[in-house]
Amino acid sequence: MTAPAPTAPAPTVTTLVNPADETVIGTVEHTTWEGVDEAVPRATMAQVGWAALAPAERAAALRRFAAAVDAAVEGLAALETRNSGHPLTQSRWEASHVRDVLTYYSAAPERMIGQQIPVAGGIDVTFLEPIGVIGIIVPWNFPLTIASWGFAPALAAGNAVIIKPAEWTPLTAIRLAGIALESGLPAGLFQVLPGRGSVVGERLVAHPGVGKIVFTGSTETGQKVMAGCAANVKAVTLELGGKSANVVFADSDLELAAATAPYAVFENAGQDCCARSRILVQESVFDRFLELMEPAVKGVVVGAPTDEATEMGPLVSKAHFDKVASYLDDDARIAFRGTAPSGPGFWFAPTVLLPTSADDRAVTDEIFGPVVTVQSFRDEAHAIELANASRYGLSGSIWTRDLGRALRVTRGIASGNLSVNSHSSVRYSTPFGGFKQSGIGRELGPDAAAAFTETKNVFISTAASSTEGTP
Ligand code: NDP
């Protein structure tokens, strides 16, 4: 358990930069391999006391945590906007969402209901036992919300959590750890260990004291995490990338479909695993759709994240900006673009591409930026074929006025979260997760707390004792 790191790196720091103006906002020291090894026993100790609390007491503690987050929404939002560049209105929603997720799962401790199964010779009951310590590895695109999808149901089920935020965006998770303590959660139950994925992430995956890993991020890193979990026979949930289709049929409300399409992909500057980054339009309305969409794209308000009117902020970092920009090479056929500020900051204008082939890397790769491709399809079968022509299967939208078609197409698309005549993907009360290489397992919804438990089966004999009835 305390085996030294094979390559024990010295502590280092990350310099954090505001993506909107490139000013330095602070530094954060990395947790070392040994630091993880010290955190795990602290979590294990705290978990024992937490799991022993009466369910109603655990529920009340989670409600106090939710109330403390509620009181801190403005501060958390301002911090997220500075660190991640999210528009303030969006950051506020994200911080409030954490409160709501905690409130939703505060009802779970008193509902961790097992089964009573009919068997011969006695009764058989199941218990949902907490796993113990849960490692939660979080990406930089939604630092607050994605962390909460792991920690809220995990705590509700009686576990301790150790969160590894992304190196670029650790500040709100660090603040949440302070809020957890201030709200009365026991020390050690909710720990945040900033640092490198190759150190903190890998040690959490390998550490025998961590019973389950919840990972959100790229498919490539997810594969590594899964392999590490396999080597340790450790449970894992993966929420990976996406390249989701927005399928627009000729019989849809075309004006509404075109007006909303930009927001389905450019929100959070396209840094969203649910982004509908492939628009598929029935060929008979293709030109009309583009005509309607152009003013909508140009109307997206891209600007200072602190401005209340801003709808889209900058990309998270220079490295990510360079990656996204690489998709606008000489071969890219740009239909039209929106606007973005010039000057310092990682600004990238919303961009609509008309790919020349279905193999174009802008069609196949998760760009994770404000870039969308538009392709045409002939009929329902062709729409389903194109929508499914991806290694991913996370979300998607279908626009049609024909209910039967909506149901046929949603059943035909291999994706975990679909919406009809809307772009909704995430509600804390409904399950969320991907098909194919978009992931394994589901987060959120009524069953999420149970995913942080082991089922224990107990048989109790009702046979009369051999001494019963004897004088
Ligand atoms: P990663 O998948 O590499 O990072 C996600 C998290 O995993 C971060 O906390 C990271 O830490 C950590 N991590 C990195 N390596 C390891 C490891 N070996 N073991 C355990 N944890 C590790 O994503 P990137 O930040 O590199 O983004 C690359 C691309 O991934 C994006 O452009 C996008 O396409 C996709 N992506 C998808 C997301 C989604 O929501 N599905 C979210 C983020 C990215 P650290 O920050 O220190 O590297």
Supply the DSSP symbol for 312. B
pLDDT at residue 7 in the model: 57
* Residue 262 pLDDT greater than 70, yes or no: yes
- Report all structural domains of the chain as residue ranges with CATH numbers, in order of start: 13-240+438-458 (3.40.605.10), 245-420 (3.40.309.10)
* Residue 419 pLDDT greater than 60, yes or no: yes
Q: Is the CB of 218 under 6 A from ligand 1?
A: yes
Rounded to two decimals, the pTM is 0.96
pLDDT at residue 9 in the model: 52
pLDDT at residue 4 in the model: 54
Between 222 and 330, the more confident residue is 222
Would you call 345 helix, strand, or coil by DSSP? coil
Q: What is the pLDDT of residues 441-471, one digit of tens each?
A: 999 999 999 999 999 999 999 999 776 655 5
Closest CA to 443 of 80, 77, 50, 101: 101
pLDDT, mean of residues 327-340: 94
pLDDT at residue 1 in the model: 45
Residue 214 is inside which H or E element, if any? Answer: strand 212-216
pLDDT at residue 5 in the model: 57
pLDDT, mean of residues 130-135: 98
As given in the structure block, the two tokens for residue 19 are: 């993506």
Q: How far is the CA of 351 from the centre of ligand 1 (A)?
A: 24
Q: How far is CA 51 from the centre of its chain?
A: 26
Q: Is the CB of 141 under 6 A from ligand 1?
A: yes
With the C-alpha atoms ordered 150, 151, 155, 156, is the resulting torsion angle positive or negative? negative
Q: How far is the CA of 217 from the centre of ligand 1 (A)?
A: 4
Q: What is the pLDDT of residues 66-111, one digit of tens each?
A: 999 999 999 999 999 999 999 999 999 999 999 999 999 999 999 9
Q: Is the CB of 217 under 6 A from ligand 1?
A: yes
Ligand 1 atom with minimal separation from the 140 CA: 43
Would you call 39 helix, strand, or coil by DSSP? helix
Kindly report the backbone phi and psi dihedral angles of residue 467, in degrees, each rounded to the nearest multiple of 5, phi listed first. Answer: -95, -10
pLDDT at residue 465 in the model: 78
Buried-exposed string 82-118: b where 16+ CB fall within 10 A, e elsewhere: bbbbbbbebbbbbbbbbbbbbbbbbebbeebebeeee
* Residue 157 pLDDT greater than 80, yes or no: yes
pLDDT at residue 468 in the model: 63
- pLDDT bucket at 2, cuts 50 / 70 / 90: very low
Which residue has its alpha carbon closest to ligand 1 atom 18?
198
